[in-house]
A and B are shown apart, each in its own frame.
Chain A
Amino acid sequence: MKLTVSALRATLAPGMTLLPRLASAIALAGALLGAALAPPPAAAQEPLRITVTDGVIEPLPIAIPTFQAETAGAEQLAQQISRVIADNLVRTGLFREVPSSAFISPVTSFTAPIAYADWRAINVQGLITGAVSVSGDQLVVKFRLYDIFTGAELGEGLQFAGTTAGWRRMAHKVSDAVYSRITGEGGYFDSRVVFVSESGPKDNRLKRLAIMDYDGANIQFLTDSGSIVLAPRFSPTGDRVLYTSFESGFPRINLLNVATVGRQQIQTAPGEMAFSPRFSRDGQRVIYSVSSGGSTNLYMTDLASGSHTRLTSTPSIDTSPSFSPDGSQIVFESDRSGSQQLYIMSAGGGEGRRISFGEGRYGSPVWSPRGDLIAFTKQHAGRFHIGVMRTDGSEERLLTASFLDESPTWSPNGRVIMFTRETQGEQGGPSIFSVDISGRTLRQVPTGGFASDPSWGPLQP
């Protein structure tokens, strides 16, 4: 889907010149640079900003009056788009939506001056206004973000143009822009997730590869349920998916083209079983596990040439690899010490350096796209946790706990983690949850049925 974005000319608030606003924007940028040291914005009388890593105990109050329908027949889309934006922002746990019933001055036009005092009076800190126009199947969405405390627009207004079929993506684009301006982080709403959709009884589960928007909308199946599929992984650009398939009767690695849904088995290094595939950061190579003679080692295959490189050579189980963002290192799990632990080695293979030393077992490590953290599954005392640690193993923090939490995957901005949570018992089954890296905001992603093994794709262009 083609989607274009352009800046809107700033509307000047009454009695304001451009200069003070520019100054406040620069001050804000400075504040964001020092974000790690900034206290969370609990008080109402502070500039509009949030430090994501702090976690937020008191969400920031925002108002999102239903976007103006600027053409006849655009009312419904205007309503839906406003709703998706509000849902996106509230779901982060960083924002609270002030209901329209509390509004003093209704917004009647996208270009009308903002009555800051009226918004201040109801304690709103961020105001998002917007307009929607439809012409045939063409859709244009405009928005502006206002910092009520400073009484100024935060950043320039933006305009997105595309087709009506892509209205949700435009709502996500607006949400990403708002989130970015307030937090100083990249967004993650306009992204997709590939996962395994599950149905049927626990001892004969049917599994299909499926894809959805990050919020669970637009679910589409990529494979039928004819054979077991496990642990899909998006390519760095989101155009292809690697996964383990039992289609041949044995675990093998398949490569699927998302647009055509065409799939092929990858020729892997010799061995009885191949699984746990991951893309390199350039999307040209695949690292994976091969089980042979009871041991499981890591290999790399170049997709273009088909040549294989052996990365580990141990009698243990080495699996669930993940590249560092710069591609120079690989984190993986191994039981070479006697139990599952996390190791980092160079991308060329060789001896690993153990990084997990806490109590329990550590598995399915995934390197954050920012490079700073590694997410993992931890098993300890009969419970499963999703946690994060620094790449040297320090500052381990557990974000979740349940009967069975596993297989974390990072949001494109490295601030949120999706994972599988499985409930126990005969009728139990998996669902997909998300948690922010402060561990404070836990949400279930609606998938309309059992779902597992999410892989979060990149922000869409």
Chain B
Amino acid sequence: MNRTLTAAILIGTLALSACTRPDRFGGSDPNAMPGAGMAGVGNAADPRSPAYFSQVVGDRVLFTVDQSVLTAEAQQTLNGQAQWLMSNPEFLAVIEGHADERGTREYNVALGARRANAVREYLISRGVPSTRLRTISYGRERPAATCSNESCWSQNRRAVTVISIGAGS
């Protein structure tokens, strides 16, 4: 019990600092990683922790070139995400859309937005209240993998569901 409380306070603190500097990826913190959010918070063995969400449920889905269609595999991951979000109503989620580097910069912002929205709509269709979901696009600005071939590009065409603490919890 005590441990859970400590974890909750820790989560609250992180969320607060994320609020004062919402662009947590742009700062000088060399450890800041795209899509990290609270993914490392808590113990992955604890099914109620964001760490469990990112590591066990799976926080991201991948897309084919220039597409925002959810594959069967992506839908399966999102079913798990929806289930987790429904059983952990104190959490909110920001869905980050990303693109690979093989497109123009502004188009990629729009493409990332389209991908994030596809995930958001799917989660809503699985019962997650829309008020708990926000979307953002990073375009091609925050690749997960940095090589310049398909092995990296396929990892970068993604939408990552980043868990954050809800208001009033």
Assess whether A294 is in contact with B34, with CB atoms less than 8 Å apart. no
Assess whether A251 is in contact with B137, with CB atoms less than 8 Å apart. yes
B interface, how many residues as a size bin? Answer: 35 or more
Nearest B residue (CB) for A317: B110
Query: In the assembled complex, how far is the CB of residue B148 from the closest CB belonging to chain A, in whole angstroms?
Result: 4
CA gap between A203 and B28 in the complex, in Å: 13
CA gap between A246 and B27 in the complex, in Å: 11
Query: In the assembled complex, how far is the CB of residue B89 from the closest CB belonging to chain A, in whole angstroms?
Result: 22
Assess whether B142 is in contact with A226, with CB atoms less than 8 Å apart. no
| CB-contacts of B138-169 with A (<8 A) | 138-139, 141-148
Assess whether A246 is in contact with B105, with CB atoms less than 8 Å apart. no
CA gap between A333 and B138 in the complex, in Å: 19
Assess whether A422 is in contact with B113, with CB atoms less than 8 Å apart. no
Known: A203-B142, A428-B148. A363 touches B104 (CB 8 A): yes
Assess whether A273 is in contact with B106, with CB atoms less than 8 Å apart. no
> A320 at interface (Cβ–Cβ under 8 A)?
yes
Known: A289-B106, A333-B107. A425 touches B147 (CB 8 A): yes
Nearest B residue (CB) for A249: B22
> B134 at interface (Cβ–Cβ under 8 A)?
yes
Q: How many residues of A contact B (CB 8 A)?
A: 52
> B40 at interface (Cβ–Cβ under 8 A)?
no
Query: In the assembled complex, how far is the CB of residue B30 from the closest CB belonging to chain A, in whole angstroms?
Result: 8
| CB-contacts of B63-122 with A (<8 A) | 66, 68, 101-107, 109-111, 113-114, 117-118, 121
Query: In the assembled complex, how far is the CB of residue B78 from the closest CB belonging to chain A, in whole angstroms?
Result: 15
Question: At the interface with chain B, which of A211-219, A391-399, A402-410?
Answer: A402-410
> A434 at interface (Cβ–Cβ under 8 A)?
no
> B135 at interface (Cβ–Cβ under 8 A)?
yes
> B136 at interface (Cβ–Cβ under 8 A)?
yes
Cross-interface CB contact of A206 among B26, B104, B145, B147, cutoff 8 Å: B26
Assess whether A319 is in contact with B110, with CB atoms less than 8 Å apart. yes
CA gap between A146 and B27 in the complex, in Å: 55
Assess whether B136 is in contact with A231, with CB atoms less than 8 Å apart. no
> A353 at interface (Cβ–Cβ under 8 A)?
no
Nearest B residue (CB) for A428: B148
Assess whether B105 is in contact with A227, with CB atoms less than 8 Å apart. no
Residue among B28, B102, B105, B141 with most chain A CB within 10 A: B105
CA gap between A242 and B113 in the complex, in Å: 21
Assess whether B101 is in contact with A319, with CB atoms less than 8 Å apart. no
CA gap between A364 and B106 in the complex, in Å: 8
Query: In the assembled complex, how far is the CB of residue A369 from the closest CB belonging to chain B, in whole angstroms?
Result: 21
| CB-contacts of A272-304 with B (<8 A) | 272-273, 275-276, 289, 291, 293-296
CA gap between A138 and B38 in the complex, in Å: 59
Known: A289-B110, A294-B68. A379 touches B143 (CB 8 A): no
> B33 at interface (Cβ–Cβ under 8 A)?
yes
Known: A202-B143, A247-B23, A249-B136. A225 touches B28 (CB 8 A): yes
Nearest A residue (CB) for B111: A317
Assess whether A203 is in contact with B34, with CB atoms less than 8 Å apart. yes
Q: Which residues on the B side are within 8 Å of A247 (C-beta)?
A: 23
Residue among A296, A406, A407, A425 with most chain B CB within 10 A: A296
CA gap between A231 and B27 in the complex, in Å: 19
Q: Which residues on the B side are within 8 Å of A230 (C-beta)?
A: 105-106, 109, 139, 141
Q: Which residues on the B side are within 8 Å of A335 (C-beta)?
A: 107
Cross-interface CB contact of A228 among B21, B25, B68, cutoff 8 Å: B25
Q: Which residues on the B side are within 8 Å of A228 (C-beta)?
A: 23, 25-26, 138, 141
> B9 at interface (Cβ–Cβ under 8 A)?
no
Assess whether A296 is in contact with B113, with CB atoms less than 8 Å apart. yes
> B32 at interface (Cβ–Cβ under 8 A)?
yes
Q: Which residues on the B side are within 8 Å of A370 (C-beta)?
A: none
Q: Which residues on the B side are within 8 Å of A202 (C-beta)?
A: 143, 146
Q: Which residues on the B side are within 8 Å of A296 (C-beta)?
A: 110, 113-114
Known: A226-B23, A226-B26, A426-B146. A363 touches B118 (CB 8 A): no
B7-33 interface bits toward A, Cβ cutoff 8 Å, 1 = contact, 0 = none: 000000000000001110111101011
Closest 7 CB pairs of A and B: A249-B22, A294-B117, A424-B148, A291-B113, A227-B23, A363-B104, A296-B110
**Apart from A226-B23, A228-B141, A363-B106: 14 A-B pairs, beta carbons within 8 A:** A203-B145, A203-B146, A204-B32, A207-B141, A226-B26, A228-B23, A230-B105, A249-B136, A272-B136, A273-B113, A291-B110, A320-B106, A340-B104, A364-B107
Q: What is B's interface to A at a CB cutoff of 8 Å?
A: 21-23, 25-28, 30, 32-34, 66, 68, 101-107, 109-111, 113-114, 117-118, 121, 134-139, 141-148
Q: What is A's interface to B at a CB cutoff of 8 Å?
A: 201-207, 225-228, 230-231, 244, 246-251, 272-273, 275-276, 289, 291, 293-296, 317, 319-320, 333, 335, 339-340, 363-364, 377, 379, 403-404, 406-407, 422, 424-426, 428, 452-453
23 example contacts (A-B, Cβ-Cβ < 8 A) are as follows: A204-B33, A204-B142, A225-B26, A225-B28, A227-B23, A228-B25, A228-B138, A228-B141, A244-B106, A272-B135, A275-B106, A291-B114, A294-B68, A294-B118, A296-B113, A317-B110, A317-B114, A333-B104, A363-B103, A363-B107, A425-B146, A425-B147, A452-B105
